[in-house]
Amino acid sequence: MNPKYEKLFDTYTLPNGSELKNRIIMAPMTNFSSNSDGTVTDAEVNYYARRSSGVSMVVTACTYVTPNGKGFPGEFGADSDEMIPSLRKLANGIKEQGAKPVLQIFHGGRMCPTYLVPNKDVVSASDIPAEGDDHPIPRALKESEVEEIIKAFGETTRRAIEAGFDGVEIHGANGYLLQQFFSPHSNRREDRFGGSLEKRMTFPLEVIQEVKRVVHEHADSSFITGYRFSPEEPETHGITMDDTLAFVDKLSDQGLDYLHVSLTDFRSEPRRGVEDHNKSRIAYLLEVINHRVPLIGVGSIYSADDAIQALQTGVPLLALGRELIIDPDWVQKISEGKEEEIITELNKNHQEELVVPDPLWNIITNTPGWFPGIY
């Protein structure tokens, strides 16, 4: 191995004592490839297994915690105990290749397509639709329903434990329900779950506490609990960088094992809400976190040099998404001193050797600009 890249292979101990064999994690990415009943397909298991031997940890695509939280066609479920055997198959497929499997748990809220939701009853913090075409007007959840969803996050965590996962990642990013409660654009409530900035944090913080309670009750101390967040929203009156910094300050004291920022580009800078727009979002986040909890950075990291430059910012862990689809052997190539052989552009003729399920492959190859250099 080139000594320049040795830091990528340093072990890392999470706050709960779990040791990661290196600094590289597979980022969660929706794959649209589950069965219609919400069970995991063999194609999905093979897709994850193909990418699990180099990285230290794999965060799965998101799974819904209640039937009305299903956000995508071909999404696998974790909303009932009947799903535990399906979940176990996925956890085992990842574990057998040497990575820690972490189940990303979520509720899609107002982003759920009506045809996937029972009785087309799309719900959110308030009756404010997402901006853009084809988004339904959601029904504002009653306070008792919010509390039921909090409990559902806990129940799904119990299922993850029983299925053999090494952790869960609470999905509070990308415009889904937890973010909808934090956002002033989507949350216009006047009860204990809305109003001030602090009250808009209530729902995600109570989800975290419920998940931690279940972990304490049903798992040993090595079970990992992480939280993913988006730093800003493009909407007028949406989340700004200073909102997120206040939230991250609070999240850093919740006893989590990591925070995971959702970025398209690791190097991106804030849109609004802070004075210095030439300072990266990552730099702002690291400053506020101040070593209280590990931060996973992500976004457009393709080459070994991209990764080592990202680590030099002070982020202890890096997640790769698109690049691990393009080159599942990314980690191994660097460890063997073959970083020059890393592939950073997707070849449309290599689906079979890349072990990518048909539904995901079709979306990737028909979405211009999503993946670099499709040829």
pLDDT at res. 80: 98
| 297 CB-contact burial (10 Å; exposed 0-12 / middle 13-18 / buried 19+) | buried
What is the C-alpha to C-alpha distance for residues 269 and 160, in angstroms, rounded to an integer?
35
Is 318 within 8 Å of 25 (Cβ atoms)? yes
Q: Where are the domains of the chain?
A: 3-365
Taken as a whole, the chain contains a residue count of: 375
Contact 27, 59 (CB under 8 A): yes
**pTM of the entire structure?**
0.97
State the pLDDT at residue 29: 96
Q: Catalytic residues, which ones?
A: 176
pLDDT of residue 133: 77
What backbone phi and psi angles, to 5 degrees, belong to 364? -60, -50
Residue 77 DSSP one-character state: B
Q: Which CATH architecture has domain 3-365?
A: Alpha-Beta Barrel (3.20)
Q: What is the pLDDT of residue 180?
A: 98
Q: Which CA distances in Å does 106 have to 176, 179, 247, 280, 315?
A: 8, 10, 19, 27, 25
Q: What is the pLDDT of residue 134?
A: 82
pLDDT of residue 277: 84
Low-confidence ranges of the chain (pLDDT < 70): 375
pLDDT computed for residue 192 by the predictor: 97
What pLDDT shows up at residue 235? Answer: 87
In degrees and rounded to multiples of 5, residue 296 shows phi and psi of: -95, 125
Q: pLDDT tens-digit profile of 143-196?
A: 999 999 999 999 999 999 999 999 999 999 999 999 999 999 999 999 999 999
Pairing of strands 12-13, 19-20: antiparallel
Of 116, 101, 95, 96, residue with least CA distance to 58? 101
Q: Are 56 and 129 in contact (CB under 8 A)?
A: no
Q: What pLDDT score was predicted for residue 280?
A: 96
